[in-house]
Chain A
Amino acid sequence: MQVIAEAIGHDYGPLPVLENVDLAVREGEVLAIIGPSGCGKSTLLSILGGLLQPSRGRVLLKGQPQADCLNPLTFVFQDFALLPWRSVAGNVELVLEHHRLGSAERRRRVADALARTGLSDFAAALPKQLSGGMRQRVGIARALAVRPAVLLLDEPLSALDAQTRELLLEDFESLWVRERTTAIYVTHNLSEALRLADRVAVFSRRPGRLKELVEIPLPRGQRSGAQAQVELAALHDRLWGLIRAEAQSAVTELEHG
C-alpha cells in the first residue's frame, strides 16, 4: 500500500507549521523524515496517519493492504502510549479486541507479536515493571500484532538512553530485513535515519517544507562495512550540512524574534 501526501499544509492557529508538502511513500520502503525541532515532522506523521485533519491538501492511499492486516496505518509512539493498568499481553490484546477474531487467533497473534519482540517471558508484567526499552518493545509488539501495511514511527527511540537505543535499532534493522513493511520513520537523529532508511526526507525549519529527498544507495544490513561507512559518512556530512543551516537559522530567528 502506498501513502501519498498532496500539497499538505497545516497551521496551529495563526502559526503555520507545514507548507505545501508533496510526498509519495513507496511500497516496502523505509522513509525517514528529519529536520530541526519544530519543523512539523510529527505533525506531518499525524496527518499521514489520519489523526490530524490538515489545514490544506489531502492524503491519498493507493492499493490494498494484505489480507491479514487489521489496521493499515499503525503508529509507534515516542512515549510508548501503553495503558498502565494492562499487562504487556493486555496492551497488545487491546488493539485486537474490537476485531472479529476467534479467541485462538487472537491469542496466537498476541503470542506471535510478543515472541517477535522478545517479550514472551514478560506477558503478565505491568508496564511500570519494565524498562523504557522494554516498554517500547511492547509498543512495537502491539503494532506488529495488527499486521500493519504502513508503520508510522514517531521518534520511537528518543525517550530512551543510548544503549537501549542501539539495541532497539538492531531490532528494527532485523525487522526490516525479515519483512518489508512500509514505514515512515520520524526522527531528529541523523544516524538513526542513515541506519534504517531507504530514503531520507529533509525538512526545512518552520513552516516545514520538504527541502530535499535523499536516496541511500546501500541496502539495509550492508551498511557496516568499511566501504559503506565511507559512503555513508559523505552522505551524513551532506545531510548534516542541510539540517544545521536550518537549525541555526531557526535559533537565530528565535533569538531575534
Chain B
Amino acid sequence: MKRLLLGAVCAFSLTVGTAVQGGVQAADEITVAALTFVSSSPLFIAQERGYYEEEGLDVSFEFFRAAQPVAVAIASGDADFGVTAFTAGFYNLAANGSLKVIGAQSREEPGFEFSAYLASNAAWEDGLKAPEDLPGHELGITQRGSSFHLMLGLLAEELEFDVDAVKLTTLEAVPNMMSAVSTDQVDAVILPGWLARRIEGEDGGRIIGWVHDYTPYQLGGLFTSSDNVEERRDVVERFVRAYQRGAADYAEAFHQFDEEGNRVFGEEAEALIPIIQQYTDATPDAIKASASYIDPEGALDVGSVYQQVEWLQEQGLVAAQADPASFIDLSFIDSHFNLPE
C-alpha cells in the first residue's frame, strides 16, 4: 500500500515536472537505511542542512545495527536508499538484480588512516611486525566475505602471497575480534583504526600497518533499488544531488592537512561534528579519529569494485554469474573513475 502510494506520488511529480521543486507540490517521501557510523555522514549532513528539502524530498531514516540488513531493506523495498560497506553478501544481493550501486561511501585513500592491521602481543614478539608477515599466522575476522576478509584478499593480491597461507578464524562481531586479539587467541585482526589505537593504547596489541598504505580501495557505496532507478529516476537524481552536497561539505571539513601532512580539523569540521554527533552518538574525538575519506562528489572507484567481486568469486563467496556492470549504474554521477575497459 505504501509503495503503491509512493508510486502514485512519484508518477504525479513526473508529470507535473521538477520545475516546481520545493514549491507548492508536496515533497516526495523517501526512507533511507543507514548505520550510525561516521562513514554515513553525507546522509546526515544533507538532512540537517536541508539539502533534501531543497530537492523536494522528505527523508526519514531507518537505522540498523549491521550492514547486511541495510542492503536487505533496500532489496525488499522497505527503504529507498542505503549506504554501507561492500561485502560478499552485498554483492550476492546486488547480483540478484534488486540493487543498483549509484555512488560512493568511504574509501581507503592514501593518507587517511581508516583500517589497521593489528598484531597480538604474542604474535608481535614472535615476529609478526608487518602485514608482509601475515602468511603462516591466524587472522581473526567477523565472517567470511566480510570487509575484513576482503581487505585480506586485496592484501594477498597486492603482496602476491597465497591467501590460504593465512588461517582464518571467524569471530562474528568486532568486539569478539578485539577480545580475541588482546588475549592472544588469534595472531592478528584488521580493525577500524580508532579501535586499533585504543587496543594499542591499552597494550593489548600492536598496529603493524594501515590498509590505505597497502590496498587503497572502495570500501562501500550508495545504492538504491532497481525499481527506483527504473520508475523514479527523477527522485534518485534529486537524492544523489543532495547526497553529493553533503559529501562535498564533509570533504571540505574532514579532508584537510597541514604543511607536515597531518590531518587538521578546522571550523568547517567543528560545525559538522555536532550534526554527526546527533546521529552517531560519538565523541568529537572519536568522530575525528574515524572520519574516513569520502569522495566529495560521491564518485566510485569502479575498478576497485570489479577487483573485489572477482576476488570474492575466486573464493567461491560470490555467485559466479555476478556482474558488476549489471548492478553499478554510473549514470547519476559524472565523475566515477578507474572505469574498466
Q: Do chains A and B touch in the complex (CB under 8 A)?
A: no
Q: What is the interface of chain A, defined by CB distance below 8 A to chain B?
A: none
